[in-house]
Amino acid sequence: MYLIPEVKSTKKCEKFKIDGCTFEFGVNIDKRVINATKNIKNGKTNVKINVSDEGKVEYKMTLSENSIEIEAKSQKGAFYAIQTLRQIIKNGTCDACEIIDSPDFETRGFYYDITRGRIPTLDTLKELVDNLAYYKIDMLQLYVEHVFPFKEYDGIYQRTGYMTPEETMELDKYCQENFIELVPSLSCFGHLYELLESDKYKHLCELPDYKNSTIFWCERMAHHTIDPSNPESIELIKSLIDQYSPLFTSDKFNICCDETFDLGRGRNQGKDKGKIYVDFVKKVLDYVKSKGKKPMMWGDIIAEHSDLIADLGEDILFLSWRYDANPDPKMIYKIRDAKKPQYVCPGLNNWTSLTELTHVSIPNITKMAEYGYSVGAKGILTTCWGDYGHISPIYACMYGLIYSAAKGWNVKCEYNNFDEAIDKLYYGYNGASKLVNQISRIHRVNYWYNLVCDYSNELYSNDVMKSWNKPNPDDLNKAFYECEDIIPYLEATTWENEKARKALLVVVQGIEYMISMLMSKITGEKLGVIFSYLEKWIKDYSEIYLQESKQGELKEFIKVIYALGEKYLK
């Protein structure tokens, strides 16, 4: 029997088949639990659901051929029991058994970047919520800079589309219906590229009179920290919080405050970086608390000044992140040693790529979950960032997300049959996960970052951007022919989850074009035949992109990929 996450304990007997269920509800059952049962078709197996008010996310499910009993210690526990039952039914047959289940992490979340290129539609976000609930994830955060109609961003957010206040509130309500907390997350210190590039606010940039030297995708990752010494800065951040915070029912607010790379390099040169960082962050924290919110923030900068963690005050939840395959737990341990609550935050490694890189993300998630569990972290929050245009479709990033849901619930489980389970429960095609992992290995030889660097060098002269990662020609050649094998296979097969298949197909086709461009750059050989298909691929990619997202930075991506195709393939 395939379940994601794996349940904690079972006592198995004989096998039987469940075609559908009828339900009996005890007193005071939450309508959200009742609504969840509507995802299960009617049938002869009788299911009795009772909920005690103990507040624990825990349930016991006793399954026999003619009846199922669910005893949950909270409404949320009952909701998750229904998700387990849905998966059991999807298996077709199951064992008569008793299941006792509860999560290892109090919070299991997903952090999705909707700012750096891809702005999902409300329908896409609701579908994402459905999947999060199915795999027992209970928190969602959306990373926001300029993709909301803040008055300070007037004239900016209209260029690419944005998430409206009405959409935000509707998503918040939909999350509540699925026992998911939608937490506001807003850049409040670093990563304020669009704001600080504007004529109205450029005087608040830490680097005075800064001029771009590379394509904006690179600039917004590395620069544009707000000047913490200017009194206007905190008033501006307060205004953003005032406009955004009331839309959420969550009692939390993520102020971010990460990667303040420029701090102390411009207007505050010569000052103590740790002190000016802490002084400004304290003002943001105090304001968020005054709004009745519990603040959380990324832990990377304060971990560099760990002696100042106590100066930030109490009631802060820190987000400790590392994204490599063998993550350094130093940040996690520094927050632990300061006796502060934290979530551990692994990543899907989809950024600068057309798809998630599972050969990095799976060991990263595994080890970060283990580190977090060992230090008593309150949660795990898995990130999906959008660096350099967020070119990866969400349906090509689900393998790692679902794996993180599994490890967040049951850390110690080895998940030796995870591929078979996700093929059954998510992809609906035997062997899909094998393809996902193969595509990841292929893509690691031709990161999108390499091509962005090359395109940038057509516009600027920048030594840093010229130091791109030169791939091995033999690796590129091998990867190209693997794509040639995968593409017709994906074209010929039919999956239950057709959105995932189509997304992976356009991903592999795009990888093949990127490989061809890099091969041409290295060898000087033009591949005109491949260029002749590029326009069709751009059309197919755009179609899938716009099915899941608003316009975002799609036109910018098309401009770059087409220019590179003309340069190297035509």
Residues 90 and 144 in one domain: no
Domain extent at residue 135: 107-415
Query: Per the domain annotation, does 428 fall within a domain?
Result: no
Residues 274 and 181 in one domain: yes
Query: Per the domain annotation, does 2 fall within a domain?
Result: no
Per the structure, the count of domains in the chain is 3
Residues 490 and 405 in one domain: no
Is residue 80 within 8 Å of 51, Cβ to Cβ?
no
SS3 of residue 468 by DSSP: coil
Query: Per the domain annotation, does 4 fall within a domain?
Result: no
Last residue of a domain, one of 84, 101, 118: 101
Report pLDDT for 2.
Answer: 93
Residues 398 and 530 in one domain: no
CATH number at residue 55: 3.30.379.10
Residues 87 and 120 in one domain: no
Give, in order, the Cα–Cα distances in Å from 230 to each of 199, 234, 276, 280: 17, 8, 11, 10
Residues 77 and 123 in one domain: no
Tell me the two tokens of residue 53: 């008010």
Tell me the two tokens of residue 383: 């990130």
Query: Per the domain annotation, does 3 fall within a domain?
Result: no
Query: Per the domain annotation, does 265 fall within a domain?
Result: yes
CATH number at residue 336: 3.20.20.80
Residues 86 and 121 in one domain: no
Residues 321 and 349 in one domain: yes
Query: Per the domain annotation, does 427 fall within a domain?
Result: no
**Which residues lie below 8 Å from residue 507, measured CB to CB, with a gap of 6+?**
354, 355, 392, 393, 396, 439
Please give the chain's pLDDT, 570 residues, in tens.
899 999 987 766 667 778 889 999 999 999 999 999 999 999 989 999 999 989 999 999 999 888 999 999 999 999 999 999 999 999 987 878 899 999 999 999 999 999 999 999 999 999 999 999 999 999 999 999 999 999 999 999 999 899 999 999 999 999 999 999 999 999 999 999 999 999 999 999 999 988 888 888 988 888 899 999 999 999 999 999 999 999 999 999 999 999 999 999 999 999 999 999 999 999 999 999 999 999 999 999 999 999 999 999 999 999 999 999 999 999 999 999 999 999 999 999 999 899 999 999 999 999 999 999 999 999 999 999 999 999 999 999 999 999 999 999 999 999 999 999 999 999 999 999 999 999 999 998 887 888 888 888 766 655 544 555 677 889 999 999 999 999 999 999 999 999 999 999 999 999 999 999 988 888 888 777 788 889 999 999 999 999 999 999 999 999 999 999 998 888
Cross-strand bridge partners of residue 50: 71
Residues 365 and 474 in one domain: no
Residues 139 and 240 in one domain: yes
Cross-strand bridge partners of residue 382: 110
Is residue 331 within 8 Å of 307, Cβ to Cβ?
no
Last residue of a domain, one of 101, 125, 149: 101
Give, in order, the Cα–Cα distances in Å from 366 to each of 111, 281, 551: 17, 31, 35
Helix H segments across 260-322?
273-290, 300-304
Last residue of a domain, one of 55, 77, 101: 101
Is residue 343 within 8 Å of 299, Cβ to Cβ?
no
Report pLDDT for 285.
Answer: 98
Query: Per the domain annotation, does 1 fall within a domain?
Result: no
Q: Measured at the alpha carbon of residue 115, what is the angle toward residues 236 and 305, in degrees to the nearest 5? A: 60
One-letter identity of residue 119: I
Residues 410 and 542 in one domain: no
Residues 140 and 241 in one domain: yes
Query: Per the domain annotation, does 425 fall within a domain?
Result: no
* Beta strands in 305-365, from DSSP E residues, in sequence order: 317-321, 342-345
One-letter identity of residue 524: G
